[in-house]
């Protein structure tokens, strides 16, 4: 989908939903906070989004949906989640519950599920078990072969949408022996099994996303027909992992949206609040806090842009892209939220205030992105198993390999580039050492320096400085490779579970993020809307990544911070999404109480 088409679609949804500060809008902050306080599932919000057609953009066009690009779904869900993450989760869990069928389901299975979803039905992804968490090959739910189908026995908990869903995709053991081939996936229709064979478990009282439905299901020989089996017996683990690879990318819209909303609230406050005769946005420390928060969000935005497109451009590399983004985006943006809390100060504690209460809610809700579909440890471990080959290839790739990666990077990070149709079955569980972001980084740096040569004045200086900073970060590949080899030799078999490997993997994620920032800048340079692209913003983005390694060393001076603030204030004043996409948002209803309190 072209940038202009995507923007037009986003504008339609924004205009339909209206300004969340307006109590008369369709998803107002006041009602969102009331749902959150009561732990009330947002049925009415979900219904109006279904009527508009949001779920269709997460379902394949071949069977009646409108999805071709995962990126489209992520962009639309950002507009929902900036109002209410719980509502966004309700929709996202249904689309992710459908994903196993999209990967390897039959035509009949896909059409049946899509028909249910289109008519307002919810789907649950029944993967987790109480005692095993992310250890999928220890799962105990059993699917016993019986005449005409299977009998499911056991408990799935905690799983989203379990109580409200009509159908649950159940991950169950179909073989007595252990190992990856012992598991299969089934579509359990709660209305087509015996009343005494299935039991809904109570909904959990949550810390964040309190209006979401998180509960479980108990099965006692719940019958499913043979036609309910997705793929073949023994393919369940592979399908489940591929589903999780997609989920890790898609759910990151929650983190981006949480920071967008909180940064917008903090800007409202800082622009209007007067202390000692000056607005607090004119206090240098506060200005830097806000500028850095914006830079963090734009780092994450660039990473998600590439990760979303990797699902279609390089599905064989998705295990790397999804894990890098799923680790770094939540951990980075949780720190960003803490920084915005410093700006808002005591107003963070005003729980019932429709303006500041939303920041408190977003503070809690963003934590979900760190633990769902693979937590920090899971993602770092997945990357750690591949790190040796990633570093080897990044350190010593042939010119042809880098040229091919650079060519693909133009599509991965070019916002107006058309994407191949999403085919999740093509995803691979290991990348074989390829990461086009890092491999294409040297070519991206050359393009950045060429842009610097064409620029003038301070913009030229900032682009040159940004290129130097990016090169400093990216040349860490060689010493990292040597450290990995030394640690492998010193630790032997203990290396794969060592804290040293986890730290190396975290550092690699920073290099991937730096590459994503540079590649987004150079490949979307001509299609971004004013006030982007900005050399000052790119420089501050790269500084923020470098400060993960050197926390007390500043590169960007006050003039750079002021230039970044000009970009931020322009986007805020024009009421556009804080993103490289910059979607126009619904016309704003001013909440003057933000300045008076």
pLDDT digits (tens, 9 = 90+) for 233-271: 999 999 999 999 999 999 999 999 999 999 999 999 999
Output the 3-class SS for 193-217: CCHHHEEECCCCCCCCCCCCCEEEE
- Cα dist. 72→5, 9, 419, 421, 462 in Å? 10, 9, 11, 12, 32
Question: pLDDT band at residue 279, thresholds of 50, 70 and 90?
Answer: confident
Q: What is the dihedral of CA 502, 505, 507, 513, to 10 degrees?
A: -140
User: Can you tell me the distance from the alpha carbon of 5 to that of 172, in angstroms, rounded to the nearest whole number?
Assistant: 42
**Mean pLDDT, residues 287-297:** 98
Query: What letter does residue 206 receive in the DSSP assignment?
Result: -
pLDDT of residue 591: 62
Query: What letter does residue 226 receive in the DSSP assignment?
Result: G
User: Can you tell me the distance from the alpha carbon of 290 to that of 342, in angstroms, rounded to the nearest whole number?
Assistant: 10
CA 527, 532, 536, 542 torsion: positive or negative?
negative
Helix ranges (H only) for 426-476 are 436-454, 457-474
CA angle, 250 then 237 then 135, to 5°: 85
DSSP of 30-56, one letter per residue? HHHHHHHHHT---HHHHHHHHHHTGGG
Q: What digits encode the pLDDT tens for the residues 455-496?
A: 999 999 999 999 999 999 999 999 999 999 999 999 999 998
- Cα dist. 541→313, 354, 516, 544 in Å? 25, 31, 11, 5
Q: What digits encode the pLDDT tens for the residues 98-131?
A: 999 999 999 999 999 999 999 899 999 999 999 9
Which of 153, 155, 97, 152 is closest to 131 using CA atoms? 155
Query: What letter does residue 124 receive in the DSSP assignment?
Result: E
Q: Flag whether pLDDT at 177 surpasses 90.
A: no
Q: Are 75 and 581 in contact (CB under 8 A)?
A: yes
Q: Are 317 and 310 in contact (CB under 8 A)?
A: yes
Percent of the chain with pLDDT over 90: 87
Q: What digits encode the pLDDT tens for the residues 61-72?
A: 998 889 888 999
Q: Which residue shows structure tokens 């799935």?
A: 156
Element (H, E) at 6: helix 3-17
pLDDT of residue 220: 97
Q: What digits encode the pLDDT tens for the residues 514-572?
A: 999 999 999 999 999 999 999 999 999 999 999 999 999 999 999 999 999 999 999 99
Q: What digits encode the pLDDT tens for the residues 149-176?
A: 999 999 999 999 999 999 999 999 999 8
Element (H, E) at 156: strand 149-160
State CA 112 to chain mean position distance.
28
Which of 173, 176, 194 is closest to 185 using CA atoms? 173
Q: What digits encode the pLDDT tens for the residues 222-232?
A: 999 999 999 99
Q: Flag whether pLDDT at 596 surpasses 60.
A: no
User: Can you tell me the distance from the alpha carbon of 252 to that of 77, in angstroms, rounded to the nearest whole number?
Assistant: 10
Whole-number average pLDDT of the chain: 94
Q: Are 161 and 122 in contact (CB under 8 A)?
A: yes
Dmax (CA) of the chain: 80
pTM score: 0.96
User: Can you tell me the distance from the alpha carbon of 230 to that of 448, in angstroms, rounded to the nearest whole number?
Assistant: 47
State CA 28 to chain mean position distance.
24
Q: Flag whether pLDDT at 595 surpasses 60.
A: no
3-state helix, strand, coil split of the chain in percent (to 5) is: 60, 10, 30
Q: What digits encode the pLDDT tens for the residues 179-197?
A: 899 999 999 999 999 999 9
Q: What digits encode the pLDDT tens for the residues 397-413?
A: 789 999 999 999 999 99
Query: What letter does residue 576 receive in the DSSP assignment?
Result: B
CB atoms under 10 Å from CB of 346, counted, come to 8
pLDDT of residue 593: 58
**Mean pLDDT, residues 16-36:** 95
CB atoms under 10 Å from CB of 239, counted, come to 25
How would you classify the pairing of strands 229-230 and 183-189? Answer: antiparallel
């Amino acid at each position: 989908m072209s940038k202009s088409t995507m923007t037009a679609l986003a504008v339609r949804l924004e205009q339909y939903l209206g300004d969340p500060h307006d109590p008369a809008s369709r998803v107002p902050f006041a009602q969102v906070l009331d749902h959150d306080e009561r732990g009330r599932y947002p049925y009415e919000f979900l219904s109006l989004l279904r009527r508009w057609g949001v779920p269709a953009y997460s379902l394949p066009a071949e069977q009646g949906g409108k999805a071709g690009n995962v990126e489209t779904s992520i962009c639309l869900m950002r507009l929902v989640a900036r109002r209410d993450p719980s509502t966004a989760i309700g929709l996202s869990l249904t689309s992710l519950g459908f994903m196993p069928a999209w990967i390897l389901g039959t035509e009949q299975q896909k059409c049946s599920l899509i028909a249910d979803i289109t008519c307002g039905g919810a789907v649950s992804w029944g993967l987790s078990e109480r005692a095993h968490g992310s250890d999928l090959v220890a799962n105990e739910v059993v699917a016993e072969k019986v005449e005409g189908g299977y009998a499911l026995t056991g408990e799935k908990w905690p799983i989203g949408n379990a109580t409200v869903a009509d159908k649950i995709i159940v991950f169950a053991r179909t073989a007595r022996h252990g190992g990856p081939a012992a598991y299969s996936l089934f579509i359990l229709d709660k209305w087509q099994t015996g009343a005494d064979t299935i039991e809904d478990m109570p909904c959990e009282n949550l810390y964040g996303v309190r209006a979401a439905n998180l509960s479980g299901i108990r099965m006692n020989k719940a019958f499913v027909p043979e036609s309910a089996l997705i793929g073949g017996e023994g393919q369940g683990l592979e399908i489940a992992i591929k589903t999780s690879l997609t989920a890790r990318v898609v759910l990151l819209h929650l983190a981006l949206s949480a920071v967008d909303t909180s940064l917008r609230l903090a800007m409202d406050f800082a622009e209007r609040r007067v202390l000692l005769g000056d607005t607090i946005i004119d206090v240098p420390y506060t200005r830097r806090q806000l500028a850095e928060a914006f830079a963090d969000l734009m780092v994450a935005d660039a990473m998600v842009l590439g990760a979303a497109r990797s699902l279609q451009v390089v599905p064989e590399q998705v295990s790397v892209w999804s894990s890098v983004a799923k680790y770094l985006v939540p951990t980075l943006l949780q720190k960003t939220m803490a920084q915005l809390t410093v700006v808002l100060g005591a107003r963070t504690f005003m729980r019932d205030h429709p303006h500041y209460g939303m920041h408190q809610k977003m503070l809690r809700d963003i934590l979900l992105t760190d633990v769902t579909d693979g937590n920090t440890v899971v993602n770092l471990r997945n990357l750690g198993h591949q790190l040796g080959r990633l570093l080897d290839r990044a350190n010593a790739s042939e010119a042809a390999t880098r040229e091919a990666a650079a060519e693909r990077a133009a599509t991965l990070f070019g916002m107006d580039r058309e994407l191949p149709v999403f085919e999740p079955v093509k995803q691979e569980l290991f990348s074989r050492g390829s990461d086009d972001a890092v491999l294409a980084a040297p070519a991206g740096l050359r393009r950045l320096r060429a842009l610097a040569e064409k620029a003038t004045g301070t913009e030229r200086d900032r682009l040159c400085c940004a290129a130097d900073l990016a090169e400093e970060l990216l040349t860490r590949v060689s010493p990292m490779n040597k450290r990995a080899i030394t640690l492998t030799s010193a630790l032997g078999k203990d290396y794969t579970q060592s804290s040293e490997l986890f730290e190396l993997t975290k550092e690699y994620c920073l290099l991937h993020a730096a590459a994503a920032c540079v590649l987004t800048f150079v490949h979307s340079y001509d299609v971004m809307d004013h006030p982007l692209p900005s050399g000052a913003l790119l420089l501050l983005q790269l500084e923020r990544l470098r400060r993960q390694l050197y926390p007390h060393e500043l590169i960007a001076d006050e003039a750079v911070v002021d230039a970044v603030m000009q970009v931020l204030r322009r986007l805020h004043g024009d009421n556009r999404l804080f993103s490289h996409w910059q979607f126009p948002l619904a016309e704003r209803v001013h909440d003057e109480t933000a300045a008076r309190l």
